[in-house]
Amino acid sequence: MKILRINMSQLTYQEEEVAKEQLLLGGRSLTSRIIHDEVPATCHPLGPHNKLVLANGVLTGSMASSAERSSLGAKSPLTGGIKESNAGGTAGLKMGRLGLRAIIFEGIRDDFYTVYIDKDGVKFEKADDLLGKSMSEAARVLYDRYGKNVGYYMIGVSGEMKMNTAAMANADKDGSPTRFCGRGGMGAVAGSKGIKAIVFNDEGVERNRPKDPEMFKEAMKQYTTNLRENPGTGKFFPELGTAAMVRTTNKLGALPTRNFSTGSFEHYKEISGETLREIILERGGEGTPTHNCMPGCAIRCSNIYPDEQGKAVTSPIEYENIGLLGSNLGIGNMDQIVELNRLCNEIGIDTIETGAAIGVAMEAGLLEFGDFEGARNLMLEVEKGTPMGRIIGGGAELVGKIYGVRKVPTVKGQAMPAYDPRAIKGLGVTYATSPMGADHTAGQTIRAQMDHHSPEGQVEASKKSQVLNTIYDSLGICFFAASAVGKHFDMLARMITGYVGVEVTADDIKNLAKQTLKEEHDFNRRAGFTRAHDRLPEHFYEEVNPASGTVFDVDQDELFTIGVESVHAG
Amino acid sequence: MQVDVISLIPWRQDLTGKHRIEEGLNIKNFVESLNVGWNQETLVTVNDRIVDEHHLLREGDRIHLLLPVIGG
């Protein structure tokens, strides 16, 4: 297993062998370790000292179900802190087959290249003919040039313009470039380094084999059985996808509505997972309510949304997108939400950040809540790179500053995902204290059977979840598998030991995740973060969410114990 | 005594309605008596609050069975 180090200024590369003990570092634990060790915390995110790290999870490429995720890490232009964002899809699998655990991109340049990697090495090819195109058009050019079987990561026009909302995407198993490392402006960092696309051609390469096939097979069998038998992974996700959340969060008063002004939406039924499924099944054609983004994923939470003629519009329609591009904008029509989602995908921008940015623009009175055409036009401005488009493309916090809006749903500069923190207070703790900024995947607590409206026990719940999420982000396993894994970390340990050939225990896995969090907080502290950054926006403490009847009232001193200052506590 | 159940589990709509139960029954035992796995197949609110497994049911309680998933 190797790490590839690429200098984009000089268009040169070198390979480094991964030491055996380092094989347990993957995904987030690896991107954060490299950023922590090699990137000056005070550097400019788009400057020559920042690095972009693409890392596979420890189990990515093992062919374990739902374990093909890869992570992008860098200092974030959106938050100014450390960032990791991961996605499913196919690029990680191809990269793993080429024997690569990670790629470290260094340097900057003003023009754009495709970095083509196959068994013979790395080639740098000018990417001028890919520029200015939609993601799907650019993907077609890549497939025509390199063949249908390649994997890739690619930025959109937003990344070319180095916008804070710019993401980086790879293809699902059907070749659609819709699996996004969406958060934190990783596409802008790639753009600053002149990376338009990274292409993986694994032709002529043997598939990866576990070091201890018997141990791996035995643990995999248990894991797969759990995935099949667990109600969440075996039924809820395949039938309704993540959109099943809409009715649950609406009931709990947590569905962000009209720039997080309340937590329930009068049109929630029209944008629910049940309605989504009905529309897809009724229209048929290329649409499907059950779809796997990664080859062999048993959970299959993804979907393909068809238009009235049955032609695929985009994929996947997920809960966060419905929340931020739907109820948060006062839009209660599924076709309209899907169109906004499609535009985000084609431009290559984070759906959460963009939905929040337009929500703040609506709060400012630039357009009315519920104005679908207005929201769509703003996205087209982003695509064109007009001054207005660059403001929206700069993210929610920037929009708030420019238009003098006080109620901006961000933490550390990053927009909240689709849970009002006054109604799901454990997530509020995660938003405030995660090194990543407001991020549901950094410490999800909503699944717990606990009183989410009470301030009690939320810091502990968030702390546990932050460790848990870091484990999955590092292994390359989709977090949705967590309910099937449960507390069986010994099973995960056997899968890892069997696959990479390094003895590891359940405790080792947890300790590694804790170490990763510590390194991330340490980086942020050196970047200038203090406890002042471990807070929600002021109005969430003072103004009641009418749907839940609550404010965010978790004890702030307790909350600080797991934030940036926790790094001092050891 | 009697409690109201509103099931938001699409394939368990049959559970929606009034249920007669004995006094002293806790929410976990009640949910399991409906053949729904506690903390596996549903998130449960009683009178709009998520409660723990020991919560004792009372006459007229309104129980929502929500889908226990996470967003992506």
How far is Cα A469 from Cα A478, in angstroms, rounded to an integer? 10
Q: Is the pLDDT of residue A319 over 90?
A: yes
Backbone torsion region of residue A260, taken as left when φ is above 0, otherwise alpha when ψ lies between -120 and 50, otherwise beta: left
Record the pTM. 0.96
What interface predicted TM-score (ipTM) does this complex get? Answer: 0.89
pLDDT at A232: 86
Q: Is the pLDDT of residue A569 over 70?
A: no
pLDDT at A568: 58
Q: Which residue has the higher pLDDT, A19 or A190?
A: A190
Q: Percentage of chain A surpassing pLDDT 90? A: 92
Residue-wise pLDDT for A54-109, tens only, equals: 999 999 989 899 999 999 999 999 999 999 999 999 999 999 999 999 999 999 99
Contacts of A274 in chain B (CB under 8 A): 10
User: Mean per-residue pLDDT for A340-354?
Assistant: 98
Residue-wise pLDDT for A183-239, tens only, equals: 999 999 999 999 999 999 999 998 889 999 999 999 999 999 999 998 889 888 998
Contacts of B70 in chain A (CB under 8 A): 242, 245, 440, 444, 446-447, 479-480
How far is Cα A164 from Cα A556, in angstroms, rounded to an integer? 29
Angle, CA A215 vertex, CA A214 and CA A219 arms, to 5°: 115
Interface test with B, best of A239, A449, A465 (most B CBs within 10 A): A449
How many Cβ pairs closer than 8 A exist between chain A and B?
88
Chain B contact present for A319, CB below 8 A: yes
Using H for helix, E for strand and C for coil, what is the string for B33-49?
HCCCCECCCEEEEECCE
Tally of CA atoms within 13 A in the half-sphere of B14 that contains its CB: 5
Could B68 and A453 be called an inter-chain contact, meaning their C-beta atoms sit closer than 8 Å? no
Q: Which of A320, A447, A450 sits opposite B68 (nearest CB)?
A: A447
Contacts of A241 in chain B (CB under 8 A): 72
For residue A143, give the nearest of A114, A100, A186, A103 by alpha carbon.
Answer: A114
Chain A contact present for B69, CB below 8 A: yes
Chain B contact present for A550, CB below 8 A: no
Strands A2-7 and A100-106: parallel
Q: Is the pLDDT of residue A514 over 60?
A: yes
Chain B contact present for A180, CB below 8 A: no
Could A447 and B69 be called an inter-chain contact, meaning their C-beta atoms sit closer than 8 Å? yes
CA distance A106 to chain B (A): 30
Contacts of A319 in chain B (CB under 8 A): 71-72
Q: Which residue has the higher pLDDT, A296 or A260?
A: A260
Residue B26 is classified by DSSP as: B
Handedness of CA A454, A455, A456, A461 (dihedral sign): positive
Residue-wise pLDDT for A234-281, tens only, equals: 888 998 899 999 999 999 999 999 999 999 999 999 999 999 999 999
Could A451 and B49 be called an inter-chain contact, meaning their C-beta atoms sit closer than 8 Å? yes
Chain A contact present for B50, CB below 8 A: yes
> What backbone phi and psi angles, to 5 degrees, belong to A213?
-60, -35
For residue A569, give the nearest of A468, A413, A463 by alpha carbon.
Answer: A463
> What backbone phi and psi angles, to 5 degrees, belong to A429?
-65, -45
pLDDT at A102: 98
pLDDT at A570: 44
User: Mean per-residue pLDDT for A110-118?
Assistant: 98
> What backbone phi and psi angles, to 5 degrees, belong to A27?
50, -130
Contacts of B37 in chain A (CB under 8 A): 231
